Amino acid sequence: MSARSWLLIILSFSILFGAGCGNLNSSGIISGGGGQSDEAVEEQPQDSGKDKEIKEETSLPQKEPSEEPPSPKGSFVLGEYYSQDSHYKFKVWAWYDRSEKKLKADFLFFDFKKDVIKRITRTKLVENRRTNRRDPVVWLDSKRALLNGFILFKVEGYKSYDLKSEEISEVWDYHVNSSGSALALLGRTEEGAGVWLIDLDTLYKLPVYSYSLENPWLEEESFRVAWGPDNNLYFDVDFHGRPAIFRYETLEDKVDLYLYDATLHAIDQESGKIFYTELAENGNTPPQKKSMRIDESPAKSEPQKVLEVATHYMETTGRPVGYQTNKVVLSIERLFENKALVAFGPWASEYNGVLILERNEDNWKVTCEKFRHYFNIGRFWEAVDVLAAREGYIFGEEPGKYVIGCPYEESNLVVFLVGPYGSPWEMQYTLEKNNEGWQITEKMEIQGEIILPTSPDYPGSTLQKFFSAMRNKQYNLAEKLVISPAGKEPELNNWEIVDYDLGEARLLPDGKRAVLQFWLFGEGEEGKDYYGWCRVNKVEQIWKILWESLEKVRFVKDDIS
């Protein structure tokens, strides 16, 4: 079992039962200050790695002032927060910093047992968080308190630990679970925003979800994160320009879409209700405030139905969906009445393909997997302009226009795929650059009906077995999968294959022939990369490869129909 899996199990039990133990192993320390100083306490950056030990920078002074430090000019008492045993108290002074246009706060600590008054930190206040365990001070137990959502204070030694890592530049929202064992943080990152779960006993920080701020529909500090009575985490995000509420299931380490076109307000622990605002995508319907029990299954919207079908398709074809490394992320690109386009790509990377779904009555079905193959298409805009002018295309990511893909390129050669927006590819062009500029040298119509990997008659299975056998130098097995011209044996041992990839598969009208798009990747600087279309024929209900369509192919020059 991986270290991450053990940590998730420990974290889940800690969340459920409020218990936990362990040495502190990832954080940074904030200086405790000198009690009477009004200078801002420096927040030390920290490494989020779980194996980093905390370096102590302060210790309990020999002598502490017994008088309260003067409050900042123009400040007011935001609140006083006593420990469970009433031996300690935090008093929070707040004021508006006009120069920085931010609400700031001083956190004063009172130790009634030792007659100590000490300013712990001065920081920008995370605003509007004064309900449901989002107070500026949340006592976790009689010896520990959470300050401003991200500073863990321990009475022993009067030490403070910054729970933010270097990747979290600003905290927008936070929420401590009911047992005081786990903290949820939501805030800004260099790439956009994210959600983290922190075990308050071990200080282990688990990244839950990250997202970019393409077209945020809320002010940044209006994003919310909240614990549900089911011990799961709920948060709203900018889901590629649309609002959505996601749920993180702590025991399963799983993130899923909970409500689409909705913003989160709060979750009431006693009634078990989630309060949210539902927005209309077209903007014609005013927002509606709604609530429902958290254990009820929300009525599925069309976007949720589409994403469920797309997720099932991706996972059936061996590509797990999720917001973690080595998983695929899905996003609805366009939703029509009876057609949907769902972009897909590696997590934390660009989308490199799109699924086309069509609806029959109330059922959605994937009808096409369209690889975009953008590669470095930006280097070939002159070639794109030549293609548009010669063939009369108008390119654009919208209905009525054409989209373009780039499956293969060299320094002075590029292959383009062209098809209507929301439909399969129709044409393939090869353009080469000479002294007169870019010229169209090959033009090929892509015919046939799309056949998906989920089909029991998918011809790509034969190509996968062949390339795997070639990569492992199992030439006898590979030879059984090809059809070669009479009297000519395929020279299989001349091939050096490190990896391969398959694209579209097209079934030709007679049902006995098909063509498949593929890439082969060589090794090292001298290793060759190949791209092309392979022909397969059905022989006694078994698909076999026509060897002549593979031999020394870089791209297909003739008509594949």
Rounded to the nearest 10°, the torsion over CA 245, 247, 248, 249 is 180
**Residue 2 pLDDT grade (very low, low, confident, very high; cuts 50, 70, 90):** very low
Note the pTM of the prediction, 2 decimals: 0.59
Mean pLDDT for 479-491 is 78
CA pair distance 52, 25, nearest whole angstrom? 5
Please enumerate in sequence order all residues whose Cβ is within 8 A of that of 361, keeping only pairs 6 or more positions apart, or say none.
none
pLDDT of residue 407: 87
pLDDT of residue 425: 93
Q: Is 307 exposed, middle or buried (0-12, 13-18, 19+ CB in 10 A)?
A: buried
pLDDT of residue 3: 42
CA pair distance 14, 229, nearest whole angstrom? 15
pLDDT of residue 347: 74
Mean pLDDT for 451-458 is 92
Give pLDDT tens digits for 279-319: 866 556 678 899 999 888 777 778 888 988 999 999 999 99
Mean pLDDT for 355-379 is 82
Closest of 414, 426, 418, 329 to residue 378, by C-alpha: 414
Rounded to the nearest 10°, the torsion over CA 32, 36, 42, 43 is 40
Give pLDDT tens digits for 222-246: 789 999 999 999 998 887 677 889 9
**Residue 455 pLDDT grade (very low, low, confident, very high; cuts 50, 70, 90):** very high
pLDDT of residue 312: 93
Give pLDDT tens digits for 139-161: 999 999 999 989 999 999 999 99
Is the four-CA dihedral 247, 249, 253, 254 of positive or negative sign? Answer: negative
Mean pLDDT for 515-538 is 79
Let me know: does 248 contact 208? Beta carbons within 8 Å: yes
Would the pLDDT of 530 be above 60? yes
**Residue 43 pLDDT grade (very low, low, confident, very high; cuts 50, 70, 90):** very low
pLDDT of residue 551: 65
- Residue 360, SS3 per DSSP: strand
Closest of 296, 305, 228 to residue 267, by C-alpha: 228
**Residue 521 pLDDT grade (very low, low, confident, very high; cuts 50, 70, 90):** confident
Among 6-10, 297-301, 372-376, which range has the highest average pLDDT?
297-301
Q: What share of the chain is helix, strand, coil (3-state, %, to 5)?
A: 15, 40, 45
CA pair distance 150, 43, nearest whole angstrom? 11
pLDDT of residue 300: 75
DSSP code string of 476-492: HHHHTTEE--TT----G
Residue type, 433: K
Would the pLDDT of 194 be above 90? no
Would the pLDDT of 373 be above 90? no
| Max CA distance (Å), the chain | 102
**Residue 527 pLDDT grade (very low, low, confident, very high; cuts 50, 70, 90):** low
- Residue 88, SS3 per DSSP: strand
Give pLDDT tens digits for 61-93: 434 446 788 888 889 999 999 999 999 999 999
pLDDT of residue 376: 56
**Residue 34 pLDDT grade (very low, low, confident, very high; cuts 50, 70, 90):** very low
Mean pLDDT for 411-418 is 91
Would the pLDDT of 26 be above 60? no
Let me know: does 374 contact 406? Beta carbons within 8 Å: yes
Mean pLDDT for 497-501 is 81
Rounded to the nearest 10°, the torsion over CA 384, 386, 389, 391 is -80
Would the pLDDT of 556 be above 50? no
Average pLDDT of the chain, as a whole number: 80
